[in-house]
């Protein structure tokens, strides 16, 4: 068999251990930053502000989901006025996402300490929502240079938040397995990342919490590496449309949509399906994941999240508005079929 591929991977410093946040002063010093823009929830921001002291030039304590342009522009202007030389994001994907558009604007480094399993902290991918349309892109300036993975930051994450967050991370690994630019290394990341997240989900309520959080965070890191190095497909396109244009919550939307996309693509992505069966220990990963999530109290339908049947035509049109790779050919009819099943909460099954 002839192998050929191009593997593109950026340099990033990753610190993975309990208590990693306590060393954030040393890590900011490593960046050479003196005027930091701190982005995160008040609970985490207060702690980090105490650790960084006078290096914090300003704090943004309410980053909004999907990075709305009006907030992004306001915070970019604030960063300009204060001449900040680094962003520190302590929070979920909303905090990291806002830090990315500020860093992209000012060309300054980011240090990220995630408090969910979004995986955004490992990527060059940025996103911003303008007039109900979410735009995404890739730029080295949007990629955090230092990431602190501290399981203690996720120890109090409610199950209702943790389950969708874990499936959101899993989606990065799944789509990397059928990406047109996958490589042997991304396959390894995806397989191990999916297996770790699967173990964490199956162990919910049965295994010690710190162990589960650590396993899930480990899986999210590897899956984030996949997201950074490969092209995402139908699943991510649908979730960007549903979040950016209809205001659906990010992780919960990924959680509902992913089993349906797995079932849809399975017949055209046999190697990916084989890997998922082994990694997740599920004969039918689409049905198994849907069942596991709903058993754990996670969302099972887009209707639960606020999508209406009258939204489907526009969602389908937006999903087809720009070309993107997918292992199974896409038409308006098939995209609408996937959305209809996810809207109702049908049990997806691989044929």
Mean per-residue pLDDT, 211-229: 94
Positive or negative, the CA dihedral 329, 138, 94, 244 is negative
- How many whole angstroms from its chain centre is CA 279? 19
191 and 271 together in one domain: yes
On the question of pLDDT at 85 being above 90, the answer is yes
Tens digit of each residue's pLDDT (9 = 90 or more) over 322-331: 878 999 999 9
37 and 77 together in one domain: yes
Positive or negative, the CA dihedral 173, 314, 332, 306 is positive
186 and 229 together in one domain: yes
The pLDDT confidence band at residue 207, using thresholds 50, 70 and 90, is low
Number of domains in the chain: 2
Mean per-residue pLDDT, 183-207: 92
Q: What percent of the chain has pLDDT over 70?
A: 98
Q: 272 lies in a domain?
A: yes
250 and 314 together in one domain: yes
DSSP 64: P
d(CA 23, CA 126): 26
252 and 334 together in one domain: yes
Q: Looking at residue 131, what is its pLDDT?
A: 87
Averaged confidence pLDDT in the chain: 94
148 and 163 together in one domain: no
Q: Looking at residue 2, what is its pLDDT?
A: 64
Q: In what order do the strands lie in the sheet with 13-16?
A: 13-16, 146-149, 110-114, 86-91, 36-40, 56-60
Which residues, in sequence order, are bridge partners of residue 149? 16
End of a domain among 129, 154, 179?
154
CATH number (domain holding residue 308): 1.20.1090.10
Q: 7 lies in a domain?
A: no
Cβ contacts of residue 253 below 8 Å, gap of 6+? 239, 242, 243, 302, 305
197 and 272 together in one domain: yes
Q: How far is CA 14 from CA 36, 97, 111, in A?
A: 20, 18, 10
Q: 1 lies in a domain?
A: no
182 and 314 together in one domain: yes
CATH number (domain holding residue 86): 3.40.50.1970
End of a domain among 121, 154, 187?
154
Q: 198 lies in a domain?
A: yes
139 and 203 together in one domain: no
On the question of pLDDT at 155 being above 90, the answer is no
Mean per-residue pLDDT, 62-77: 95
End of a domain among 154, 177, 193?
154
Q: How far is CA 347 from CA 60, 258, 262, 292, 350, in A?
A: 41, 12, 12, 12, 10
Q: pTM for this one?
A: 0.92
Burial label for 312, CB within 10 Å (0-12, 13-18, 19+), is: middle
135 and 189 together in one domain: no
Positive or negative, the CA dihedral 11, 123, 111, 43 is negative
Q: Looking at residue 208, what is its pLDDT?
A: 66
CB 157 within 8 A of CB 115: yes
On the question of pLDDT at 92 being above 80, the answer is yes
- How many C-beta atoms lie closer than 10 Å to residue 273's C-beta? 22
Q: Looking at residue 31, what is its pLDDT?
A: 97
d(CA 265, CA 269): 6
The pLDDT confidence band at residue 133, using thresholds 50, 70 and 90, is confident
3-state secondary structure of 299: coil
188 and 128 together in one domain: no
Mean per-residue pLDDT, 263-292: 97
130 and 269 together in one domain: no
Domain that holds residue 168: 159-344
């Amino acid at each position: 068999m002839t192998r050929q591929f191009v593997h593109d991977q950026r340099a990033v410093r990753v610190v993975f251990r309990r208590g990693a946040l306590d060393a954030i002063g040393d890590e900011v010093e490593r960046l050479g930053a003196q005027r930091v823009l701190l982005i995160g929830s008040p609970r985490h921001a207060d702690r980090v502000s105490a650790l960084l002291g006078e290096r914090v030039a300003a704090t943004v304590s309410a980053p909004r989901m999907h990075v709305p342009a009006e907030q992004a522009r306001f915070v970019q202007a604030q960063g300009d006025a204060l001449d900040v030389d680094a962003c520190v994001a302590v929070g979920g994907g909303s905090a990291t996402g806002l830090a990315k558009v500020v860093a992209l604007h000012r060309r300054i480094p980011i240090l990220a300490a995630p408090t969910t399993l979004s995986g955004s902290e490992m990527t060059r991918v940025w996103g911003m929502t303008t007039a109900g349309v979410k735009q995404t892109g890739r730029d080295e300036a949007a990629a955090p240079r230092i990431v602190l993975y501290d399981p203690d930051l996720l120890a109090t994450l409610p199950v209702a938040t943790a389950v969708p967050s874990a499936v959101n991370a899993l989606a990065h690994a799944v789509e990397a397995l059928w990406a047109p630019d996958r490589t042997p290394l991304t396959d390894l990341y995806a397989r191990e990342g999916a297996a770790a997240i699967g173990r964490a989900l199956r162990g919910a309520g049965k295994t010690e919490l710190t162990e589960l959080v650590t396993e899930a965070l480990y899986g999210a890191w590897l899956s984030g590496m996949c997201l950074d190095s490969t092209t995402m497909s139908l699943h991510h396109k649908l979730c960007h449309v549903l979040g950016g244009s209809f205001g659906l919550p990010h992780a919960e939307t990924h959680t509902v949509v992913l089993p349906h996309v797995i079932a849809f693509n399975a017949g055209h992505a046999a190697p990916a399906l084989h890997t998922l069966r082994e990694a997740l220990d599920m004969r039918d990963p689409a049905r198994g994941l849907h069942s596991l999530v709903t058993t754990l109290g996670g969302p099972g339908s887009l209707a639960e999240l606020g999508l209406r049947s009258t939204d489907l035509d526009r969602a389908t049109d937006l999903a087809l508005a720009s070309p993107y790779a997918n292992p199974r050919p896409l038409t308006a009819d098939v995209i609408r079929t996937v959305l209809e099943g996810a809207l109702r909460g049908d049990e997806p099954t691989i044929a």
